[in-house]
Every structure is written in C-alpha cells, then in structure tokens.
Chain A
Amino acid sequence: MNLRQSYVAASLRSPEARAAAMITAGVALVIGALARVPLRGDVVVDLREGDRVGGLRQVTVIGFWVPTADGRETRGPRARVIFNRPLPATFELRIAARSVHPEEIPVEIHVGDAVSRAVFGRALADAAVAIDNRARAREVTLVLPADATLTVQTVAVRSVAEG
C-alpha cells in the first residue's frame, strides 16, 4: 500500500486543503485574541436556561446537572462556571443559590487565587463578594463539602471601576 497515494495523504497535499488550513489558523488566532479581552459591564449567567452553543454562549458550566425551573444542582464537590473571556480586574460576584442537602452548606468560592466563603440555607439567597482579579482568571469554582448538593440559580458579575 502506497501511503503517499492514500486518501489521507492526498487530502493533505491538495492546495485547497493547505489554503483552508492557513485561513483556519488565521481565524483561530483572531478568536484566541478576542478571548483574551476581559469582560466589561454586567454579566448575568442564568443557570435555569439550557446550554447554548458558540457565539451565543458566554460560559461553559461543568459539575452541574441539567437545568430545571429552579436552577442547576451541583454534581459532586466542585462546580465550575467558566467564562469565555477573562473576568474584570475588580468586580462584585453575586451568586443566587439554595441548599438541597444538608440544610446549610458552607461554600468556598474560588476565582483565580482569591478565595471567598458563603453559607447557603434552604431559602434562595444571594451571596455577594468583592473579587480582586489581577490574575485575569475566567473561572468561578464553587467547592462544597463532599456530600452536599446546592441549587445555583444565577451567577452575576458586576464590574467595579479600578482605583
């Protein structure tokens, strides 16, 4: 079998494949550069909504079950909300959530190196924390006790002017 004549090799050698690869690399570089520009203004992630794809979506959520009318239940001790772009340098993070089990859940909120703490009970409540995000992190991680389950409804980011 002559590998140079193979279907894969022939595809890779064709001029249009090379041109397409170059165009794609250029596009990926531009998208990559755009993804490094920090978020501005207010962003509210409503976890009651289903997953959106691509340009319509601002976040990727990992460690949650499917959305319900109340929000999303956490799935395990780490739940991650990953923004497409870095979070602002200083911002207020507001999380609306309630406990499912046990009654009170102490939660560690990690954003880059910053760690804040909040406690959620049975009733839906907002926890607001000020975050100093000089490291330009783009992920909010909730760390829960091993057997705890939390329903998270919204995660809101409000930029705060520096200085």
Chain B
Amino acid sequence: MTTETATPLVERDRLRFFSLLIAVTLLPYILFPLATHVVPDHPNVHLLMLTVLFLGSAGHIGSSFFFYGDQQVRAFMFPGQWARYLVVPALASGVMALILFIDSDPMRSYALVGFWMWQVHHFTRQNHGILAFASRADGVPVDPKEKLAITLTDIAAILATIAFVTPYRNTALDVYGWQLHTTGLAVFACAWIVYLTTRPLRRFRTTPWRESLVTALMVFYVPLFIFHDAFSAVYIYLTAHGLQYLIFMYFVSQVPVATRGFAVARLALLTAFGGGLIMLLKRQQLWGDLAPTFLGLAYGITIWHFLLDAGLWRLSEPFQRSYMAQRFGFLRAGSRPMHDGREPHGVQAPAA
C-alpha cells in the first residue's frame, strides 16, 4: 500500500465523498417522518419525499446498468465473464417473473419472503463496503467487532423486515411474526453492545468522518424498531441505501475525465428511465391478468442489480480493485497509511 502524501484534489474528493454519503444517508431519516407524520398535508414536502423515494428505490437500480455501457467493464465482462454478468442474472430475473406468473399463493409468498431477505442482505453488504471505504480512507483498520456488529444488524433487519412487508402469513412462518420481530430487536441490541465494546466515542476524536459514518450504519435499521407503519419502518432505510449507491455511481462516472459529462448524463438517464421502467412494471392496474408477471419482472431486474453489484464491487478481485481505485483516488494515493500497516479492506464489496 502506498503512503504518498494526500494531494489537495484527493483530499477534496475524500471530503466530498464522505460528506455526501453522510448527507444522503440522513436525508430520508429526516424527510420521511416529516412528510408522513409531522406535515402530512404539505404538497411540496410530499413531492420531495416521492422524488427522493423514486431515486433511492427504483432509480438507483436503473443506475447500476451504467456498468454495461462502460468500455472498460464491458471488456472485462465479455466474453470471459458473460455467464456471471449476463446469463445468470437474466435467468434469475426470468425465474422470478415465472414464479409470480404461476398462480400459486404459497409459491409467490415464499419467493417474496426470499426476495426481501436477499434485498436486506444486499443493503448490509453495502454497509460493510462503506465501513471498508471509510477505514481505508482514514487509514484505520476495520475492527472485527465492527464487522460483527454490522453483520448482526443485517440479521436483525432481515428478521424484522419479514414481519413488516412480506406475505409471510401465507408461509410456514404465519404465526411467528412476533417472534421474528422480537428476535430481530434483541439481535439489534446485541449489535449495539458489540459496537459499543469497540469504544466508538474515543475514535470520534481522531477519525470523526469515519466514526460518523459507522454510527450512521449502526442506526441504519433503527426505523424497523421504532415505527409501526411499514412505510416508515422499511422505506426509510431502503431509500437511504439507494441514495448512498447513487453517490458511489456518481464517483464511478467521473473517470475517465475526458468523457465525464457524457457519463454523468448517461447515469442520469439510466436512473430516470431505468427507474421509470421498474415503476411502470409495478403498476398493477396497467397489466390486467399479467400484473403479477410484470411485478415479478420488476423484482427480477432488482435481482439482476444484486448479482451485478455482488460481482463488480468485489474488490478482492484484481480487475474490480484496480477499476475502483482509479475512481476513488482517496482510497489509493491520498489515503493515510494504516496504523498497523495492514490493508484495511478485509470487507470486499461496497455495494454487493
């Protein structure tokens, strides 16, 4: 690992990246309760919430397809990795659409419970990645107990989310909603106990940016345990995840510098139209009898996004590491040396 002195540009990027990440993480936690509980009749606040919701949910999924238009990534994917990045995601999407097409309530219910479990795990993989990024940028090794704490929030959120938004009552879990959520709450408390044993307050003095982000990750799933309505409990953290992802993608689109403007425009179009397509597929009144199939297709596209990210943000692999290092300069030349000389990215995937 290099220990070059941080250049002003790299330092500026680092500050921009982490301050944006914290800002967009906090945004839905402030805006959504405001729009739904404090000023529910204010049209502008409501419109702003819907816009942020769109960007953080369907929009960010559309943005991930930016990678298919990037020459460097395409050269890596095809033909060598075509099965991983094209065939498997397409098959998984097709299977999801097929499951929802088949008129069987139990099968659909199990598929949707599985989908939501995967989705929450996907969110936490990004949280692990943010922990790794922040640690790398500040030259602080990731404490294994921090990783354990984030992993526990993953389990807690999966259990609680099942009870909130999935059709688990059509499955063998039907009478266990209380147990699932309460176990989730207790596991979440364990996550905080583990986190507090890492003495975060002490680190706030030396690495405030990193610690602010880690604390934000620890409160990421709190809505599940304080709100009674599914929208506030689930869609706040779901939107925060998507907004964080858009910040990552914005930085990805900044290299190469020569095509930066075109890349940002392409990213914006994919976010708007890709997200719009997913929203359209989910509008049940448009599709008549085929509504479940199109809903399945929308979920399928989301699964494609999970698989795409699980591969492309896997920084333990050489191409991905080098590609991302070109785009997140502060992780490379600008980063401070590790306190103990170790590489900090034990956790591999920022958004997988």
A27 touches B190 (CB 8 A): yes
Q: Is B233 a contact of A53 with CB atoms below 8 Å?
A: yes
Contact of A24 among B147, B155, B185, B349 (CB under 8 A): B155
Looking at the assembled complex, report how far the CB atom of A29 sits from the nearest CB atom of chain B, in whole angstroms.
10
Chain B contacts for A4, CB-based, 8 A: none
Q: A20-B151, A31-B179, A60-B177 are in contact. List 5 more A-B contacts (CB 8 A).
A: A10-B348, A19-B148, A27-B186, A27-B190, A53-B164
Q: Are B228 and A52 in contact (CB under 8 A)?
A: yes
* CB-nearest residue of chain A to B181: A54
Question: Contact residues of B with A, CB < 8 Å?
Answer: 83-84, 144, 147-148, 151-152, 154-155, 160, 163-164, 169, 174-175, 177-179, 181-187, 190, 225, 228, 233, 310-311, 314, 348-349, 352
Q: Could you tell me the distance between the alpha carbons of A60 and B173 in the complex, rounded to whole angstroms?
A: 12
Contact A27 B187 (CB under 8 A): yes
User: For the complex, what is the distance from the CA of A19 to the CA of B147, rounded to whole Å?
Assistant: 10
25 contacts between A and B (CB under 8 A): A7-B311, A7-B352, A10-B348, A14-B151, A16-B151, A20-B152, A20-B154, A23-B152, A27-B187, A27-B190, A28-B179, A30-B186, A31-B179, A31-B186, A50-B228, A53-B160, A53-B163, A53-B181, A53-B228, A54-B160, A54-B185, A55-B185, A60-B175, A62-B174, A82-B175
The answer to whether B152 touches A7 (Cβ under 8 A) is no
Once A7-B352, A27-B190, A53-B181 are accepted as A-B contacts, the answer to whether A16 and B148 lie under 8 Å apart by CB is yes
Name the distance in Å between A141's Cβ and chain B's nearest Cβ: 12
CB neighbours (8 Å) of B183 from chain A are 24, 27-28, 31
Chain B positions within 8 Å of A57 at CB level: 177-178
In the assembled complex, how far is the CB of residue B184 from the closest CB belonging to chain A, in whole angstroms?
7
Interface string of A14-36 (1 = CB under 8 A from B): 11110111011001101110010
On chain B, the residues within 8 Å of A7 by CB distance are 310-311, 314, 349, 352
**Cross-chain contact A16 with B147 (CB below 8 angstroms):** yes
**Residue A56 is within 8 A (CB to CB) of chain B in the complex:** yes
A-chain residues with CB within 8 Å of residue B178 when the two chains form the complex: 35, 54-55, 57-58, 60, 84
Tell me, in angstroms, the Cα distance from A62 to B160 when the chains sit together. Answer: 19
Measured CB to CB, the nearest residue on chain A to B154 is: A20
Q: Give residues in A with beta carbon < 8 Å to B.
A: 1, 7, 10, 14-17, 19-21, 23-24, 27-28, 30-32, 35, 50, 52-58, 60, 62, 82, 84, 139
Q: How far, in whole Å, are A19 and B310 apart by their CA atoms in the complex?
A: 23
Question: Is the beta-carbon distance between B182 and A20 smaller than 8 angstroms?
Answer: no
**Chain B residue contacts of A23, Cβ below 8 A:** 152, 187, 190
- Among B179, B228, B311, the residue within 8 A (CB) of A56 is B228
B122 CB to nearest chain A CB (Å): 10
B333–chain A nearest beta-carbon distance, Å: 28
User: What's the least CB distance linking A137 to chain B, in Å?
Assistant: 12
Q: 8 tightest CB-CB pairs across the interface, nearest first?
A: A54-B181, A20-B151, A16-B148, A16-B147, A84-B178, A27-B186, A16-B151, A7-B310
Closest to A20 in B: B151
Is there contact, CB below 8 Å, between A20 and B155?
A: yes
Interface contact B148-A24, CB-CB below 8 Å: no
Kindly report which residue of chain B lies nearest to residue A54, judged by CB atoms: B181
Beta-carbon contact of B187 and A54 below 8 Å: no
